[in-house]
Structure 1
Amino acid sequence: GPVRLPGRARARAVIAADPSDAVPHAHLPYLEAVFTFGAGAGPALSLTAPARRVFRPRPVDPEAPARILVSSGSEAEPKMAAYSHNAMAGGRATYLRALHDGDGPMRNLVLAPLASSFGSCGTSVTVAALGGTLLLQETFDAAGALRMIVEHRPTHVFGVPTMLRRIADQPPLDQEDFSGLRALVSSGAALPDATADVCRARFGDRVITVYGSSDGVNCHTAATGLTPEAGTGLPDPAVARIRITDGNGDPVPAGQPGEICARGPMTPLSYVADPALDARYRTPTGWVRTGDRGFIDGHGRLHVLGRIKQIVVRGGYNISPAEVERELGAHGAVAEVACVAVPDPDLGERLCACIRETPGSPSPDLAELTGFLESQRGLERRKLPELLLRVSEMPLGPTGKICRTTLAGLAARETQAIR
């Protein structure tokens, strides 16, 4: 419900976009004030009303909590991570500054919600730390985002792959001019090669992919370029050191997969009011376990293989949905793809490929897609999806990422009906 996260955070103040969203104090014992925009109503105080007293800034401990970032919750209950002023204005600002290769301040169109980890590059960093300009939409709209790019000329556009693909698929506008756009920045999920190609063709060559999360890890391709051998780029110790560990938490050699762990200036202080999460995801020496699989190659570049939790176990054999998605996304008729597990009484789980088809392309069946994966992409037969679900649009969560929980439920219902 609406009080769940503020209650867990022991929030003393809540800002609601609309007065009707104001949370009654009775449900939040620590709450002291509710703020909103517009005229205000009931217990809500208006942020746009004249100030009742002169604002006087107070000295702030740079290591004190500055804000809470909430994970997407696309797999489970959202996690809340507390970040210090130094982590936001230091580590996160250093990462954002590295994406900017020109003179003058950044002018960022941030399509991801500002409350998300990816969206935190907005107010706290673009405006407060770097003195740039922040462009926003109230809710994501692909046609409106394209108009904003043309009319307001941002230097950078920040969005998850689904958002960027939907913008790139929009019909051309009159007198389109993208000369001021320095980069499209993709994060929140793996960027499919097909989406990167479509974005390059529409907006220019510079597409940057960022690997990051609310757990305090970051790596991007601004310096290395977006190529298969570059992976997700070179980790920057000024933002976060990255290492790969085995099941016992010990570092593994270059090239060997394991869990991605991070520690550095961007590391959060702790998980909010949840010592069990701290014990599970943070080591005594301050390393954060991200729950992601990956490896670091001989050149020090990070390669992300997907979520550990998202492994599909079919008859005792582990299948990585991220690997299948990456290869299936190269098919010309597939605009978007997500692979999820469907329960099976015999094998435990089967892999279902959920696709949104490319407009105007012939509709592929399962046999065509699996044949493509095996003969043209070299995927092992035991990794091939056994079920296919077509959707007109991928279900999205609050942060704009594909909601796999919703998709898995839909896939289970639809595929059960046709068995």
Structure 2
Amino acid sequence: MTSAPAPPGSADPRADLRWGTTSALLADAARRIPAAEAVVEGDARLSYAGLDAAVTAAARAFIAAGLRTGDRAAVWGPNSTRWIIAALGLQRAGGVLVPLNTRFKGAEAAFILGKSRTRILCVETDFLGQDYPALLAAGAGGRGLERPYAGLPDLETVVAMDGPAEDGIVPWDLFLADGERVTAAEAAERAAGLGPGDLSDMMFTSGTTGRPKGAMCTHGQTLRAYAVWSNVVGLREGDRYLVVNPFFHGFGYKAGWLASLLTGATVLPARTLDVPRVLETVRRERVTVLPGTPTLYQTMLEHPAFSADGVASLRLSVTGAANVPPALLRRIKDELGFEHVVQGYGLTESCGIVAMCRYDDSLETVSSTVGRPLPGLEVAVVDASGAPVPAGTEGELLVRGYAVMKGYFGEDAETAAAVDADGWLHTGDIGAVDGAGRIRVTDRIKDMFIVGGFNAYPAEIERILSRHPDVAQAAVVGVPDERMGEVGAAFVVPRRGRTVDPAGIIAWSRAEMANYKVPRHVHVVPELPTNAAGKVAKTVLRERLAEEGLGGG
């Protein structure tokens, strides 16, 4: 399988062989383009040489704190330059990165830290009014100042990346100062001992089907996958990449700042999804690359501060957090002015990526598929018995190849259930592959609901609803129904200046889709709730329906 030609200056598609580790990647970039801007955050600008030096200082600090090769270290905080330095520093020291969701409560964070047996936690102590260490202490069974994290016996050091550092928490500056006990030569020796087969990160699943599980990926897997990804989407040296997707998610981490370093682009971290600030940053910094969720683009287009002149620098859009309605893709292309709009598909267990549209694919292709598998990856479609189905027929998507995780940490049985003896990862996603190898993802198996014996897929219904001239966004969930078993409930956000009538939406739907797909309940809302990864939080919608006596789907 071939990809679109790589644009000049893009990443080496066999980055696992060229660099081997994220540490070697950064060191090489610092030699090749030392003065180029690596990270820009507000008025602070860090060159590639400066980033490499900062990462070495952090690596020395992690080694001084007792981090051994293979130990886990976590980062908990919003997108920032220091987040990148901490992540690359612990990886240069041989550690395994465990990113924590910024919306976690204390017990949720404690579960991840305990499960991964994390030894060092780097945390921003005050973000959006949240005191993360205090939350963690409450969630980890803290017992006073002497044992604030009593339920986490492996957690030895908590470092404040930013914000106030109270008793028992090491300020970042002191953490780095202690690292001066370790020489740069010792840090270089530790980094040189690492290879592409060593673990780089442990990304935990969302937990929607049970307790979160830690998917283990190596340096080589990650470098190869995102060098190929960068070539496929057309990311290139000199691009200015505004990363609004959270760093704790693969979209913001691997397809965000890491892909930028692979290609020699500039990373601009966005701490929060603040649309006016995004629009201002795009204008001021002449941003060329702005991946994001459909929610982000929709909000930008509807915002009063939006102007075509202000986003004239934008070149590349990558979206993949949800199925993107064709009508919205056309607006992204025409009104935001992107030269290239692509979308893709991935999951935590495959280093976050499986398939991508190519940067020169037609809008028709992008609107109807998530593209083809990355070169070197295989995708199969099987029925409920595990038998392959013909091209164009829906079934469960399976993935095999270099991006598939090494397994779930400490979960042999769960690993065996997810990755079979032939190396196929069972995704739990429903889709089809056409004769050209392009993938169409229909829905998650768990999100499907059954209306009078017919399978209804929310993503498909949402795509149809998005065609309504008054609808900006739509989300659909299944709810119990005495006669049909389940029916659809739709939440719709009106387009700016438009009014939506629920009865009118239902009548329109009856003319546009099969009767079993038609939502029986329509709720007009000013916005859809989203999680920190930008995906619509359907659990919140189900809870609202339950409160109204409609139950959950």
TM superposition score normalised by structure 2:
0.70
1:231 to 355, 369, 372: 369
Give runs of aligned pairs for residues 14-413 of structure 1, distance below 5 A.
Answer: 14-18=121-125, 20-22=131-133, 23=136, 24-38=148-162, 40-49=165-174, 50-52=176-178, 53=180, 54-55=183-184, 56-57=187-188, 58=190, 59-73=193-207, 77-100=211-234, 104-121=237-254, 125-172=258-305, 176-205=309-338, 206-216=340-350, 217-222=353-358, 223-227=360-364, 231-238=369-376, 240-366=377-503, 368-375=504-511, 377=512, 379-413=513-547
The yes-or-no answer on 1:10 pairing with 2:117 is yes
State the Cα distance separating 1:281 from its structure 2 match: 1.5
Q: How many residues align?
A: 412
The verdict on how the C-alpha distance between 1:230 and 1:402 changes in structure 2, with shifts beyond 3 A counting, is: closer
State the Cα distance separating 1:277 from its structure 2 match: 2.4
* Structure 1 Cα separation of the partners of residues 490 and 305 of structure 2: 31
Aligned amino acid, residue 246 of structure 1: D
State the Cα distance separating 1:325 from its structure 2 match: 0.8
* Structure 1 Cα separation of the partners of residues 205 and 318 of structure 2: 19
Alignment RMSD (CA, Å) = 2.4
State the Cα distance separating 1:74 from its structure 2 match: 5.5
Contact residue 387 and residue 415 of structure 1 kept, 8 A: no
* Structure 2 Cα separation of the partners of residues 283 and 360 of structure 1: 52
The verdict on how the C-alpha distance between 1:371 and 1:65 changes in structure 2, with shifts beyond 3 A counting, is: same
State the Cα distance separating 1:327 from its structure 2 match: 0.6
Judging by fraction of residues, say which structure has more helix.
2
* Structure 2 Cα separation of the partners of residues 389 and 399 of structure 1: 24
- Deviations, residues 296-349 of structure 1 (Å, cap 9, x unaligned): 111111111111111112233321111111111111111111110112344332
SS in 2 for 1:37: strand
SS in 1 for 2:431: strand
Aligned amino acid, residue 177 of structure 2: A
Q: Equivalent residue for 2:26? A: none
Identity %: 27
The verdict on how the C-alpha distance between 1:204 and 1:76 changes in structure 2, with shifts beyond 3 A counting, is: farther
Aligned amino acid, residue 275 of structure 1: D
Q: Equivalent residue for 2:142? A: none
Higher alpha-carbon Rg = 2
* Structure 2 Cα separation of the partners of residues 159 and 279 of structure 1: 33
* Structure 2 Cα separation of the partners of residues 174 and 331 of structure 1: 24
Aligned amino acid, residue 268 of structure 1: M
SS in 2 for 1:327: helix
Aligned amino acid, residue 312 of structure 1: F
Deviates more, 1:399-408 or 1:341-350: 341-350
Deviates more, 1:277-286 or 1:172-181: 172-181
* Structure 2 Cα separation of the partners of residues 157 and 48 of structure 1: 32
State the Cα distance separating 1:175 from its structure 2 match: 8.4
Aligned amino acid, residue 357 of structure 2: T
- Deviations, residues 200-221 of structure 1 (Å, cap 9, x unaligned): 2322142211212212142122
* Structure 2 Cα separation of the partners of residues 13 and 203 of structure 1: 42
Contact residue 242 and residue 263 of structure 1 kept, 8 A: yes
Aligned amino acid, residue 355 of structure 2: C
* Structure 2 Cα separation of the partners of residues 40 and 254 of structure 1: 58
Aligned amino acid, residue 347 of structure 2: S
- Deviations, residues 65-95 of structure 1 (Å, cap 9, x unaligned): 1012233446654443111001111112311
Q: Structure 2: where are the runs of 5+ without partners?
A: 1-106, 137-147
State the Cα distance separating 1:131 from its structure 2 match: 3.4
Contact residue 155 and residue 180 of structure 1 kept, 8 A: yes
* Structure 2 Cα separation of the partners of residues 37 and 245 of structure 1: 46
* Structure 1 Cα separation of the partners of residues 495 and 207 of structure 2: 28
Aligned amino acid, residue 37 of structure 1: M
- Deviations, residues 195-240 of structure 1 (Å, cap 9, x unaligned): 22222232214221121221214212224233158511122223x3
SS in 1 for 2:177: coil
* Structure 1 Cα separation of the partners of residues 335 and 255 of structure 2: 25
Deviates more, 1:146-155 or 1:72-81: 72-81
SS in 2 for 1:29: coil
* Structure 2 Cα separation of the partners of residues 360 and 175 of structure 1: 19
- Deviations, residues 337-373 of structure 1 (Å, cap 9, x unaligned): 111011234433221011111121132223x223323
State the Cα distance separating 1:186 from its structure 2 match: 1.0
SS in 1 for 2:447: coil
State the Cα distance separating 1:410 from its structure 2 match: 1.0
Contact residue 93 and residue 125 of structure 1 kept, 8 A: no
SS in 1 for 2:346: strand
* Structure 2 Cα separation of the partners of residues 97 and 76 of structure 1: 35
* Structure 1 Cα separation of the partners of residues 456 and 381 of structure 2: 20
* Structure 2 Cα separation of the partners of residues 118 and 107 of structure 1: 16
